[in-house]
Amino acid sequence: MREVLFRVRALLSRRGVLGWWATLASVGLGLTWLPLLGQPGYELAAGLTLLLTFLGGGLAIAAARARPGLLASATLLAFATLPALGLATLRTALGTPCDPFQSVAFVPLLILPTAALVAVLGALAARVTQRWWLALLVYFAFVLISAVPTAWPLLEGPQVFAFNHLGGYLPGPLYDEELSVPSSLLWFRVATLCLAGGMGALLQQRRLRGLGALLVFGAIEVAGTSLGFRMTDAALSEALGGVVETDELILHYPRALTDAEVSRVLGDVRFRHHQISTYFGAPPPGKVRVWLYRSAEDKQRLVGALHTQFAKPWRREVHVNGLTFPHPVIKHELVHAMAAPWGAPPFGVAAGFFGLEPHVGVIEGFAVAADNPIDELSLHEWAAAMKKKALLPDVASLMTPQGFYGAPASRAYTTAGSFLRFLSEKFGKDALRALYREGDFERAFGQPLPSLARDYEAFLDSVPLQADAVNQAFGRFRRGSLFDRPCAREVGRLSAQAGALMPTDPQRAKELLARCRTLQPDEPSHALAEAGALRRLSEEEASRKLLDAELQRLEAEPAPWAEAALARADLAQEEGDRETATALWKRILERQISPAMERTSQVRLDGLEVDAVQRFFRPGDDDVKAFLLGEASRAHPESWAVRYLLGRRLQQAGESATALPVLDQLLNEGRLPDAVAKETTRLAIEAAFSLGRCDEVKRWASRSRFGPAFDARAADWVERCAFAWP
């Protein structure tokens, strides 16, 4: 090693080599001032790896002219990243509470194999020609060649992760905060080292060693699908195991699903396909392929993207996970795939510059607008409530890639969707489809984007809102973007670990959540989760103090305050302090925070004397809870809360035939508070649908008195029932 360092020192004494090295080091230092790259984790390692790929070739060629040896050249390249890594480490350690080493494993895995391969390719380019500029062209030809096996699976295969022997690794969408080193990356970087070692040995006339290393490289590459760094349609179909085809679509699903589960998923997807076709006037040509994964972890392992569902419009396919019915995002993703014929080639999305410059705000807003998701509030109501709370992103800048990714994902998607839905309602769907070609607002709507944005914001001011809508919006949209939240990657990893450990090791979960709270003291969810861990550890006093402190701190923020109040009331009830619990539930009702909060408080108050009601809200076996509620319904026939929770639990368990009479009786009595009646009506509609009783679905939908958002959801169930049970 001493000899290698001596050669590195000798190389730096050459003016040309020093110039290239200083350039690399300076640009690397500049990278540390970009968002997410100021910490020595994945983002900085990936940025430095790309820096070595595109600028390191010049240094490798200059070093090769001096013939110092490939190891010395690779070491010199790696050393060029040290100033950036050192500065990022110091800034993180001294200027932030973040752990500078929480994802440091990415640094050697990404940088060192790339440095070795760049050194070899630079030496090879220098040997091909004596002219430095021709050698650079040869080197960049190697870079372009390496991009082919990286881009091809992304374009023609189902995966969204990317592996490149020079450029490193892209795990998929940046929205996923939980990032760890997958085994596939370890295997891939072993292959990179074998490639660099084999080519380097051949350059040094060590043929046997070189051929052996290249054989190992080839073996790993051939096994790329099974090792997880490459995926094909055939391999993915085999991994999932199930497939069914209809006139509209091809559904791939996990082989472990029951026939009933497959039928339910298929019906859901076909209905959403029908809705989208109706919205745009006619179904687009061709079939859509849907890949369904049982869990987010399965999807990440097979194709990338943990919590992000995604579509590949140019392949007319979508990738979603989860068996929730109705699926919360399948309609959104189907819009992406079905709208491909209206988008710009080659990718079938809104894009300029020959289809290579995607307009992300238009792409995502188009899908949200066509989906028109409705839960407690409508799309326009969510956006109007955000505006009143000063959370609405700048609409004009949101329609640019930089603006869209700079805003928190939940705010960006909702605002973009509401904006394009507004334009569709004002100018018609044909104009909206025209926008999806190139993202040109003036051509599609006859007005420049700033003018349209001003009209939209004025429209939001006219949207009527209930008293609790603004509080709901703050609760839903309060979290900042990945770029804004301190130590976001570390907190994402720690909170995920804490959630997994909570049932088995609450002590360790508590320690991890305390760390999260230190890193993000303004985020109440960490304190509430830590209080839950303390309760599991029977440390009620510590839990009480933590929750009381949160209640005081969050007094001016109704939505998070209510979450803390519910947790504190539950603890008080468990300790026998009914006075405190009752006062908190009544305070939640007075503040009109959200229907969900009101519903929970009303149920807890009505069931104050019923142990089964209070146990329903604590961790425990759902079947035991259902049994206790059944017993309580006979012992306390006067309590509507008992029967409501029993009907709810039965419907959630798929026992619609048993649940529906309970729910019907509750609604016909007319004793329920509005928030509870609203949820009971929703459950009754879903139970009637499950039984194929469309007349009852219509009956309960027509009796709704809960506002336009609920009416829209009820109408969706009526339409779904007519489609499923014609």
What domains are defined for the chain? 2-227 (no CATH), 235-440 (1.10.390), 621-726 (1.25.40)
The tokens describing 669, both together, are: 């009595």
Q: How far apart are CA 575 and CA 560, in angstroms?
A: 23
Q: What's the rounded Cα separation, in Å, for the pair 408 and 300?
A: 22
Which ranges of 617-724 does DSSP label H, i.e. alpha helix? 622-635, 640-652, 656-669, 674-690, 694-702, 708-724
- Distance (Å) of CA 694 to CA 104, 430, 478, 510, 703: 57, 33, 39, 48, 14
- CB of 166 closer than 8 Å to CB of 114: yes
696 touches 688 (CB < 8 A): yes
**CA angle, 39 as apex, 38 and 42 as ends, to 5°?**
110
Instruction: For 48-102, write each residue's pLDDT tens digit.
Output: 999 999 999 999 998 887 777 788 888 899 999 999 999 999 998 898 888 888 8
Q: Is beta strand 249-254 parallel, antiparallel or unpaired with respect to 241-245?
A: antiparallel
Helices (H), 37-165: 42-65, 70-79, 82-95, 106-128, 132-156
| Type of residue found at 692 | G
Q: Could you tell me if 313 and 347 are in contact, meaning their C-beta atoms sit under 8 angstroms apart?
A: yes
Beta bridge partners of 163: 169
Structure tokens at 549: 């402190």
CA distance 294 to 298: 7
Burial 61-75 (b: 16+ CB within 10 A, else e): bbbbbbebbbbbbbb
pLDDT at 479: 67
Amino acid at 154: L
CB 291 within 8 A of CB 329: no
Asked if the peptide bond before residue 486 counts as cis, ω within 30 degrees of 0, the response is no
Spatial distance between the Cα atoms of 614 and 608, rounded to a whole number of angstroms: 7
Spatial separation of the C-alpha atoms in residues 501 and 496, rounded to whole Å: 9
Mean pLDDT by 10 residues, the chain (726 residues): 71 81 93 86 93 93 80 89 94 88 90 96 89 89 94 93 93 74 94 95 89 95 93 95 94 94 95 92 86 92 88 95 91 94 89 83 92 86 88 88 78 93 92 88 91 94 81 71 69 86 91 90 89 90 92 88 91 88 92 87 86 78 78 83 89 91 90 90 94 92 81 92 88
Task: Please state whether the peptide bond connecting residue 619 to the residue before it is cis, i.e. omega within 30 degrees of 0.
Answer: no
Partner residues linked to 241 by β-bridges: 254
What kind and span of H or E run contains 570? Answer: helix 558-574
Task: State both tokens at 15.
Answer: 């003016």
Q: How many whole angstroms separate alpha carbon 75 and alpha carbon 6?
A: 11
- Could you read off the pLDDT of 168-188 as tens digits, one per residue? 999 887 666 677 889 999 999
Contact status, residue 192 vs residue 109, Cβ threshold 8 Å: no
Helix and strand element counts for the chain (H, E) = 37, 9
State both tokens at 105: 């494993």
Residue with tokens 């009786």: 665
Q: Which pair of tokens denotes residue 651? A: 């419907």
Query: Which backbone phi and psi does 566 adopt, to 5 degrees?
Result: -65, -45
3-class secondary structure per residue, 439-478: CCHHHHHCCCHHHHHHHHHHHHHCCCCCCCHHHHHHHHHC
CA dist 15 and 23 (Å) reads 12
The β-bridge partners of 245 are 250
Both tokens of 533, joined, read 């861990």
**β-pairing verdict for 317-321 and 288-293:** parallel
Q: What is the DSSP letter of 290?
A: E
Distance CA 635, CA 642 (A): 10
Between CA 725 and CA 542 the distance in angstroms is 54
Tokens describing residue 210: 């070189």
Instruction: Determine phi and psi for 50, rounding to 5 degrees.
Output: -65, -35
Other CB atoms within 10 Å distance of the CB of residue 105: 16
> 404 with 439: CB under 8 angstroms?
no
Rounded CA separation 22/18 (Å): 6
- HSE-CB at 52 with a 13 A cutoff on CA atoms is 35
Q: What's the N-to-C CA distance of the chain in angstroms?
A: 77
- Provide the H-helix boundaries in 281-407: 296-303, 330-338, 360-371, 379-388, 395-398, 401-406
Task: Tell me which amino acid residue 631 is.
Answer: E
Q: What is the pTM of this model?
A: 0.88
For residue 6, give every residue at least 6 positions away whose Cβ sits within 8 Å of its Cβ, in sequence order, or none: none
Length of the chain: 726
Q: Which of 308, 311, 356 is nearest to 336 (CA)?
A: 311
